[in-house]
Amino acid sequence: MDNPGLQAGEAGNYNATNEPYTSRDGKWKDSYDPEPNAVSQMDLVDDGDENKERGNWSNKADYILSCIGYAVGLGNVWRFPYLAFENGGGAFLIPYIVMLVFAGLPIFLLETSLGQFASQGPIRIWRCLPLFQGIGYTQVIASALVGIYYNCIIAYTLFYLFSSFTSDLPWRTCDNTWNTGDCVDTNSLKNWTGNISDRVSPSEEYWDRYMLSRSAGIGEPVTVKWQLALCLLLAWIVVYFSLIKGIKSSGKVVYFTATFPYVVLLILLIRGVTLEGALEGIKFFIVPKWSQIANAKVWKDAAAQIFFSLSAAWGGLLTLASYNKFKNNTIHDALIVALTNCATSVFAGFVIFSILGHMALKLNLTVPEVAKSGFGLAFVAYPEALTLLPVSPLWAIIFFLMLFTLGLDSQFTIVETVATAICDGWPTLLRQKKWLVMLTISVCCYLLAMPCLTHAGIYHVVLIDSYAGTYPLIIVAIMECIGISYLYGLRRFCKDIAMMAGYQPNYYWQANWAFITPALLTFVLIFSFVFHEDVSYGDYTYPLWAVTLGNLILVFCAIWIPGVAIFWLIVTPGSFWERLRKVTSPTDTWGPHLPQHRDERYANMANPSAGIGAKYTPNDGTKL
């Protein structure tokens, strides 16, 4: 359904003097038109690339593995299994699959199709709808904030990985200098008569008192923990050199980082199911509790998990797809990546709960008493379970190396999203110096992460995670669906996809984009607001000033959406309705990047290489 106030492209191309922007050959153009050969090719492109200016993936496998690596992250291992266990076991798969079909897949295809069609990053892609360009800024800023703390979590995995190179894991016993009198290891548990809820495991004290050296609160004076600072430095060095040539280098690294976790998960599953008590643990994971289906919170959790698990609305999918060749079937890609992501989550559940079942048997506890989520699973419960296995250091090395590679893939795309947005903004100046952009991002993010490396660091990590990567991204996804369906025009968007895939998306996709997906995500957003709980870490409740800071982070991420819309309404010439009509129409630089891919609808398209600072002008009136 097109914009009822304006048939596609009916506005003319006028500048501040109400005169059309024209090039020497009389075609409509942006006010900024760089020389076509101004960008150095360096190593960012090769002879096989279709787009000589931006470069393309070397082959389809590079792109698919990068998408899988981006979507399949730490949350698949440490969040989904516990969510399933907590929300009805096998019954949770029903709302999970429903939300995949009606929320996850549609957003995935929408973003990858937009990015591939115009070969633009998350900010410039909104030349299709300038009023919504703030969405791109929100995505880039949210990605930058998450990139700061996410690499700190990767640094945690490196810390544990290096600590595992020993004959005896340091979190196995309570005989270390950091342990307290409350510590009870597995050997002493059989003679312990206290309440199980009061028991403190050696792995918990290793995490809290040694690795984090956690302070009592976020506001206490603290210093940087140098061991974590070195681990984070190593993590950023790995990220930088993996991205130094953009997708040309990261596309090769993912052949290891995206596939290695599956090898490890398979090894851990084979080992896990052969352990005594494994079946009991798996039962807690898969046996359905049908009564939970009627609980609205279960459906909210399923929608949120699939949405964030697929990394939708962050701008990363759009960025990865922007380096595809034009004639690529994004519909097939969406199905492959989304189904792989969901299958990985279920597979990881079997891996986790088989080991936890064995742990519960050995400690004479129930599975719910040992099951944890998030940091508690990855750095407390599972490490303790590994100490019960023969040759436990070997299993610990494998496990934390898997977590390291899982985190790296996601971090690659997070950083690439920010770098692509910057380079697309100033193409002639920065695209030939992408290595310098990557270096600047890496150094800045490393320095900005220092508060996350202090004794209060975990409080900062949880605070940013709770506010930067939740509500703003759900709002973004809702607005993407509304903007494309009702302002850009669903019919026009489907024709754009047909130019790439050879056929238009069917009514399933169209119904989701226009109605079902935004309605489901609105439900999740409202439910989350109504039942919102202030951020906490364990038993620690954040002070008011920290909660206020978190809300300011949220506002800082989301404010760009209305802010940029207001900006374009102010600077665009004409009456209010003329301005509104212009900023809800594609600009003259919107369309396929290369001339050979443009049909008659985009025949008069101007040079798409204009950067930030170029004036947006509506297209030339061609009926789309």
Range in 66-80, 183-197, 247-261 the model is least confident about: 183-197
The response to whether 71 counts as a known ligand-binding position is yes
Could you read off the pLDDT of 356-394 as tens digits, one per residue? Answer: 899 888 888 888 888 877 788 889 888 988 998 899 999
Q: How confident is the model at residue 510 (pLDDT cuts 50, 70, 90)?
A: very high
Whether 410 maps to a domain, the answer reads yes
pLDDT at 197: 63
Inside any domain, residue 44: no
**Tens of pLDDT, residues 582-601:** 999 999 999 999 999 998 89
Q: Domain range holding 243?
A: 60-185+199-594
Kindly report the average pLDDT of the chain as a whole number: 86
197 appears as a binding residue in the annotation: no
Give strand pairing partners of 28: 22
What's the CATH code of the domain at 398? 1.20.1740.10
- Residue 44 pLDDT grade (very low, low, confident, very high; cuts 50, 70, 90): low
**611 band by pLDDT with thresholds 50, 70 and 90:** low
Query: Does residue 476 carry a pLDDT above 60?
Result: yes
Domain assignment present for residue 32? The answer is no
The pLDDT, as a whole number, for residue 243 is 93
Q: Is 76 annotated as a binding residue?
A: yes
Whether the full predicted model's pTM is greater than 0.85, yes or no, is yes
- In the predicted model, is pLDDT for residue 528 greater than 70? yes
Domain count of the chain?
Answer: 1
**Structural domain includes residue 190:** no
DSSP H helices in 469-621 = 471-482, 490-501, 507-511, 517-530, 544-558, 560-571, 576-583
Has residue 53 been placed in a domain? no
Q: Provide mean pLDDT across the span 467-480.
A: 88
State which H helix or E strand residue 409 sits in.
helix 392-425
**Helix, strand, coil tally for the chain in percent (to 5):** 65, 0, 35
Let me know if residue 12 belongs to a domain: no
Instruction: List, for residues 87-118, the tens digit of each pLDDT value.
Output: 888 888 898 999 899 999 999 999 999 999 99
Counting every residue written for the chain, the total comes to 624
Q: Considering the domain boundaries, does residue 609 fall inside one?
A: no
* Residue 409 assigned as binding residue: yes
Q: What is the pLDDT of residues 332-346, one digit of tens each?
A: 999 999 999 999 999
Is 27 among the domain residues? no
| Whole-number pLDDT of residue 503 | 93
DSSP H/E element including 90: none
Reported as a single tens digit per residue, the pLDDT across 392-437 is: 999 999 999 999 999 999 999 999 999 999 998 888 788 788 899 9
pLDDT at 20 over 50: no
**Residue 533 and residue 45: Cα distance in Å, rounded?**
48
Q: Which of 8-12, 392-396, 554-558 has the lowest mean pLDDT?
A: 8-12
Condensed to tens digits (0 to 9), the pLDDT of residues 209-234 reads 999 999 999 988 779 999 999 999 99
Q: Which of 136, 130, 133 is nearest to 581 (CA)?
A: 130
168 is in an annotated binding site: no
pLDDT 10s digits, 118-177: 999 999 999 999 999 999 999 999 999 999 999 999 999 999 999 999 999 999 999 999
Confidence grade of residue 302 (pLDDT, cut at 50, 70, 90): confident
